[in-house]
Homo-oligomer: A and B are copies of this chain.
């Protein structure tokens, strides 16, 4: 993590990804790559789905969280880790901390779904509730950190986290070295950034597409304007993709991504249902955005070998979007 960016941040390197993979190997699953002849047929391409919905804690985020947690010195680890998240990073950091036997403090709005709270507690995390506003979250988080001295692990704007997420593309390329393209969803940009680091060394010619909901198109707008565009509270069914880019991830989007592709809410739900029906796997709405963009931009992918990152499977089975 010693390559300075033009913004002064330390960037994760390929060596960091390799070190991360060794560090987290025994704490994560090497997830399977699934294929579907039917989906290949309608896409006109060969699709290889890297199934992080089968990952520990149900999402790729456990890779970055484990890399951060297991990379801490004993002295730092003794004070635990902390984050603010109501999503998969909260579960993943709780899981990682539990594996190391240290505390994990999660600041969550009291309005977060009970299922998510239960999952954090189930993995051994401690929840401190805040109001559902940025001001309250920052205030409460600062207090928790001051009281505990816990190490802050940001969900994505953290070189340790990005290096961990890069292990996903590393596994994919080890299994399928001749991919032409990788498509992954983009929210804060942690997965896309890790993919850029890995492909930069293992497959420099490979194209990386970031897939984003039309109604939360901050990465798309950032890519167009050449600077970070952030929205306050975008509305999309792909609830993992609402957060904006930050300095580190913007660097990788700006320098490593071929294009940001958009899909409508309807296209996302249709692609999600298609994956459930044809591949028999439970995936979050966020994971369906790549397939939606592939089917919509057939000319970009036709005849190619395309890796698709299925990022997670933590979905509310009582609230399926096609039944609303």
Contact = CB atoms under 8 A, between A and B. Distances in A.
Interface residues of A, number: 19
Interface string A278-290: 0111110000000
A126 B323 CA distance: 31
Contacts of A146: none
B313 A318 contact: no
A274 to B, nearest CB: 10
Contacts of A283: 280
A34 B53 CA distance: 13
Given A280-B281, A281-B280, A281-B282, A320 B317 contact: yes
Contact of A282 (B32, B34, B280): B280
A322 B313 contact: no
Nearest to A283: B280
Contacts of A273: 317
A54 interface: yes
Nearest to A51: B280
A276 B284 CA distance: 12
A58 interface: yes
A313 B279 CA distance: 9
Contact of A32 (B32, B279, B313, B322): B32
Contacts of A318: 322-323
A175 to B, nearest CB: 14
A319 B297 CA distance: 31
A277 interface: yes
A240 to B, nearest CB: 15
Contacts of A313: 280
A317 B280 CA distance: 10
Contact of A277 (B280, B317, B322, B323): B317
Interface in A267-324: 273, 276-277, 279-283, 313, 317-318, 320, 322-323
